[in-house]
Chain A
Amino acid sequence: MEATEIGLWGVPLAILGGAIRVSTPFIFVSLGEAITERSGRINLGLEGTLVFGAMTAYAMAVMTGSPWLGLMAAATAGLCFGLFHGWICKFPGVNDIAIGIALMLLGSGLAFFFGKPFIQPSAPDLPAIPFGGWSDIPQVQAALNVNVLFLIGAALAVFLWWAFRNTRAGLILRVVGDSSDAARAMGLDPNMVRLIATGVGGALAGIGGGYLSLYYPGSWTERISSGQGLMAVALVIFARWNPLGCFAAALLFGGAGALGPALQSVGITQGYYLFYAAPYILTLIIMIATSSPGRSLAGAPGELSITK
């Protein structure tokens, strides 16, 4: 009802708010995937990690009453999934994409199995900071109610962007991702670096899952993730493995995801389901637009199996 007061302005506002709210899991998963892919591995299992993280965070928060402990549990679970992926992939002849798909199914399956008892109880939410207090308009207040994880994600993107160039760990990660031979010649162990990178990537995806169940949508259901984990992989490629690009792309995807609910809220009832598909259509369009038969992707880590 109140939406009519500010009329169609509600749509861009809702998209902005939605972008901030919906993008957070994208940010964490894509930053995690960026770290993993920069090391020369691709982990498609992050979708499963995300779902399992969501379940773990929710269950832990229900049992302890602390959303932060839930988040830590999610990160730990994600770390384990990542390390498992990294460990299996070190064996010769193992394909990282196939293992990723297996782990995606395993993660979701385990989450559904262990998550059954937690569908009913409610868990405490993660805190949000109301940046919209200056305005009287409830829509503005709602849109600018920003969760701390979003801010942490933004800071993390900037930090990673800086760290890829300015720290020893960042340079080593890029060396390993670009040329195993060069890495070995420097006395580095590519498998160890990739193991750590996949582990960290998994932990971040777990945190993304925790956000899903503890803030938005804010409850544990089996349909909590609608492919965010997979879309984040596409997003990393679109962002050219650049953390700042990941952040921007996550916002874009978040905004697209918010399009459907926003149109619904201003009373458009026809065909809004089509707009729910916006993120998926966007994924397709981006993949087509950024690919080319004539040249390989600029900026792709040389050891990545999908770009080799």
Chain B
Amino acid sequence: MSATTRTKAVGVETIGMTMRFGAFTALDDVSVKVPAGSFHALLGENGAGKSTLVKCMMGFYHPTSGDILVDGHEVAITSPRDASALGLGMVYQHFTLVPSLTGAENLVISREKVPGIIDWRRERADLAQFMQRMPFKLPLHVKVAELAAGEKQKLEIIKQLYLGRNFLVLDEPTSVLTPGEAQEVLGLVRDMTRAGGLTVLMISHKFHEVTAFADDITVLRKGRLTGTGKVSDLSHKEMAAMMIGDQPIAALDSRAPVPVGARQVLTVKALKAPDRTGLKTINIGGLDVKSGEIVGVAGISGNGQKEFLEVLAGQRTRDGGDVLVKGSPYGASRSEARTLNVRFIPEEPLRNACAPKMTVAENMAFRTFDLNEAGKPISWIRMSAMRDYATRLVEQFKVKTASLASPISSLSGGNVQRAVLARELTGEVDLLIVSNPCFGLDFSAVAEIRARIMKARNAGAAVLLMSEDLDELLELSDRIFVMSDGALVYETPIAQASVQTIGEHMAGHH
């Protein structure tokens, strides 16, 4: 039924691709060559034109000028359907699978021609046969909602291959994966390109992934091609220079030593809470964070970190146990957070830390709008004070926004995170709780946000950092805990931390 007969990869080339939106040139004369069977990385900051380029290739946009060659022949791609017919497919950063359908149902229904009545016995046999040719092993009878992020990503890739597409654009494929999952997925994808059955164009800004898996790179900056070459000939520094030009990158403060006898700020004892499914509980035996240190919590997503964080943030009720901040019980109420100087930078800040449709100024004032300069409650809110406050913070934290009156949801991910950081890091901070702060952000935003966190630490804040990015934890933490199956299973000071051991504990092999 499906067009899985095509097993040879196709190569794609763009010549002089230009795309203008009104007066704005998103893409300026970009020529990229991705030969059949290669693993090509497309690098660039947010807004550099990467997605515009691939959307032109996939038929979502119609380029102002420029040509596309598939296997050396000039083709006209005017719709995603045309791209699909030529064997071009795209795996999006956000999953496009239907959560309540099983893997098999997702695959079958995405086909061009689906019979009115589906003969599942035959379909299952066909799928089993198809899966034998795939390097991925996946349970197809399970609902997609129950798959881990890594499995979903594999299923997205498998779906494209099932639909007979042999040129795949992967849009930041590892942004939702753990290091282990990322390694596995990219490794298998590379093996398929080596075998000649697949061509990959991967959008990324993780250098270590590019170095480890890609053959060639193309770098875009502000819509222009700024570099191309073999990965083996380029260092990270050279790639970064192509990507960001001569723009300065925020450097991490050197780590001030944790003072001896630093006071304990956060204490968690015997904390119990139900997890998302309500079937299991998370159980944090004991955790403490001292002033001036960053304690990292590593773990594969879905092992209870999110629930732990939700309890600390007051988004989830707990069954038992104590959370103490500077010795006083902490229930995450607004007044407690205010008197104890607890600040919070959750993951997906637009969802968890902002009111998306309210303005930038209003969002930045959430902590302080009802206080006057002396910190006393006021009964009339002064818009001018809110605006002045926001103006100051926007400048200080370099938040790029069209205006303070724009809804915060109109900002890019990096700027939403900067705005939240500005709000949370301004004023006295004794305890800072952070979760995946750099998720999906580009190079310079990541460097800057990490530098801010380090600065807060050096200024004496106790920082609890949960992250699925092990590199981030190793870079920032003073101590690392590993969370697995709802409990903290391993603790190591940074000096003795080894990726190997931490990885084993993350996988629950101990």
Contacts and interface: CB of A to CB of B under 8 A. Distances in A.
A174 B118 contact: no
Interface string A153-180: 0000000000001111101101101110
Contacts of B120: 165-166
A175 B278 contact: no
Interface string B311-348: 00000110000000000000000000000000000000
8 nearest CB pairs, A to B: A171-B109, A168-B114, A178-B100, A178-B98, A182-B98, A295-B278, A175-B98, A185-B96
Given A166-B117, A167-B116, A169-B116, A182 B97 contact: yes
B115 interface: yes
A111 B66 CA distance: 63
A171 B276 contact: no
Interface residues of B, number: 23
A111 B287 CA distance: 66
Nearest to A176: B98
Contacts of B97: 182
A178 B101 contact: yes
B19 interface: no
Nearest to A170: B118
A181 interface: yes
B316 A294 contact: yes
A301 interface: yes
Contacts of B99: 178-179, 302
A293 interface: yes
A168 B98 contact: no
12 contacts: A166-B118, A168-B109, A171-B101, A174-B105, A175-B101, A178-B99, A181-B96, A186-B110, A294-B278, A294-B316, A295-B276, A302-B100
Contacts of B117: 166-168
B83 to A, nearest CB: 13
A38 to B, nearest CB: 10
A168 B116 contact: yes
B360 interface: no
B223 interface: no
B274 interface: yes
A269 interface: no
B118 A167 contact: yes
B422 interface: no
B384 interface: no
Nearest to B279: A295
B113 to A, nearest CB: 10
Contacts of B109: 168, 171-172, 175, 186
B129 interface: no
Nearest to A298: B277
B32 interface: no
A267 interface: no
Interface string B266-304: 000000001011100000000000000000000000000
B108 interface: yes
Interface of A: 165-169, 171-172, 174-175, 177-179, 181-182, 185-187, 292-295, 299, 301-302
Nearest to A183: B98
A179 B106 CA distance: 12
A175 B105 CA distance: 10
Contacts of A293: 317
A182 B96 contact: yes
Contacts of A181: 96
Nearest to B119: A166
B101 A168 contact: no
Contacts of B278: 292, 294-295
Given A178-B100, A182-B97, A302-B99, A168 B118 contact: yes
Interface-central residue, B108, B109, B116, B117, by most chain A CB under 10 Å: B109
Interface in B106-153: 108-110, 114-118, 120
B96 A174 contact: no
Nearest to B117: A167
Contact of A171 (B105, B274, B317): B105
Contacts of B116: 167-169
Given A178-B98, A178-B100, A294-B278, 4 more contacts: A168-B116, A168-B117, A171-B105, A178-B101
Interface in B75-118: 81, 96-101, 105, 108-110, 114-118
A187 B118 CA distance: 19
B118 A171 contact: yes
Contacts of A177: 100
B200 to A, nearest CB: 20
A238 B110 CA distance: 30
Contacts of A182: 96-98
Contacts of B100: 174, 177-178, 299, 301-302
A295 B277 contact: yes
A174 B114 CA distance: 15
Given A169-B116, A295-B276, A174 B98 contact: yes
A168 B115 contact: yes
A290 to B, nearest CB: 13
Nearest to B115: A168
Contacts of B98: 174-175, 178-179, 182
A177 B101 CA distance: 11
Nearest to B116: A168
A177 B97 CA distance: 13
A169 B278 CA distance: 33
Nearest to A295: B278
